[in-house]
A and B are shown apart, each in its own frame.
Chain A
Amino acid sequence: MSSYRLRVAAAAALFISCAFGAHAKPIAFANGTTVMGEYGAGSMTEVQAFYAPMYRYSIGAGHLILNGPDADDSADITYARFNYLPKRWNLESAQANVFVWGSLGGAHVARANDNEFAWNVGGQLDYETRRLYASLRTDLHESQAFSHRIDTLQLGVAPYAHDYNTLALWFVIQARQYTGGLYDGTEWAALLRLFKGNTWIEAGATQDGHLQSMLMFNF
């Protein structure tokens, strides 16, 4: 997909964000701990753990593995992260959020076979109702040896409106674009998302037939 079409899709997502909704958040709730792991079709694998003293921010750490088409293109990044919620809109039947985060850490870069200082900034805009959601997320990872940005757009629909302590079921379409040579074009994925109680699980496949999955626990 051309960058023009991706920009159009991103603009559409922003527009939809103003009318529909979104999900996976780096801050779940005050005094809550979030542990999550994501496998991104072989291009990225990430584990994260956060504690939120207040609903406005959380602190934690993570490990991200980025894999390019060549083994030399891979990087292992370990980081400490601060997540912040600068804005939340609580509407009668919807909620919207703006999250931002930043992290500092170290990366092992395969090509240089060396360890580098690495940093990251990112943000997420989301909006959700009980039946529809949209989120747009961007994550920039930088070091002397690499510059990777991962942009992810998710649009979802629930076949029924779940309630507290009942199983939530979502059908999600994801579009993801990597910069820095990790993946050419836009990677599309169709996902099935389930959550109940403190457990969230989603799994699906990309257009290349690779597994895309995520697991998250809040407690």
Chain B
Amino acid sequence: MKKINLLMALILFGSTVASAGTIEMKVNGLVCSFCAQGIEKTLRKNPATSDVLVSLENKVVAVSTKDGTDISDAELKKALTNAGYDVKEIQRTTHSMEVLRSQFEATK
């Protein structure tokens, strides 16, 4: 029984890690693209990052991760705080970055 539980846990863990996710962060102080460059620069340095999307209109910074990788909430919060911004909310979604990009385009 223990072996089955362990196998199930491994399968679940494996599926979580293997699926690349999109992380959306509501950020306060996001008013100037010239200054928000620092956020993109910082997040792109993370080896798990595959893409970064910043929307001033929606006050959102989104990060997609590479297959099999993840970035913890604490790590994201630290990155944004060190860039000079305040993270209000972190949400992990199943939306692809393309869908998110289209949604943001539609709100312009």
Contacts and interface: CB of A to CB of B under 8 A. Distances in A.
B1 interface: no
Interface stretch (A8-16, A25-33, A65-73, A138-146): A25-33
B91 interface: no
Nearest to B45: A31
A37 to B, nearest CB: 16
Interface in A30-60: 30-32, 54-56
B92 interface: no
A130 interface: yes
A55 B84 contact: yes
Interface string B24-48: 0001110111111111011000000
A125 interface: no
A215 to B, nearest CB: 13
A168 B82 CA distance: 25
A185 B68 CA distance: 65
B54 interface: yes
A80 to B, nearest CB: 23
Interface in B2-21: none
A92 B59 contact: yes
Given A54-B82, A95-B32, A32 B41 contact: yes
Main secondary structure of the interface of A (DSSP, over half): loop
Contacts of B39: 29
Given A28-B34, A218-B34, A92 B54 contact: no
Interface string A155-184: 000000111111010000000000000000
B48 to A, nearest CB: 18
Contact of B86 (A31, A55, A90, A129): A90
A85 B33 CA distance: 19
B38 to A, nearest CB: 2
A91 B56 contact: no
A93 interface: yes
Contacts of B36: 164
B73 interface: no
Interface of B: 27-29, 31-39, 41-42, 54-57, 59, 82-86, 108
Interface of A: 21, 23, 25, 28-32, 54-56, 85, 88-95, 128-130, 161-166, 168, 195-198, 200, 218
30 contacts: A21-B31, A25-B35, A28-B35, A28-B38, A29-B35, A29-B37, A29-B38, A29-B39, A32-B38, A32-B41, A55-B38, A55-B82, A55-B84, A85-B84, A89-B29, A90-B29, A90-B85, A91-B28, A92-B28, A92-B59, A93-B59, A94-B29, A95-B35, A129-B31, A162-B33, A163-B55, A164-B36, A166-B33, A168-B32, A198-B37
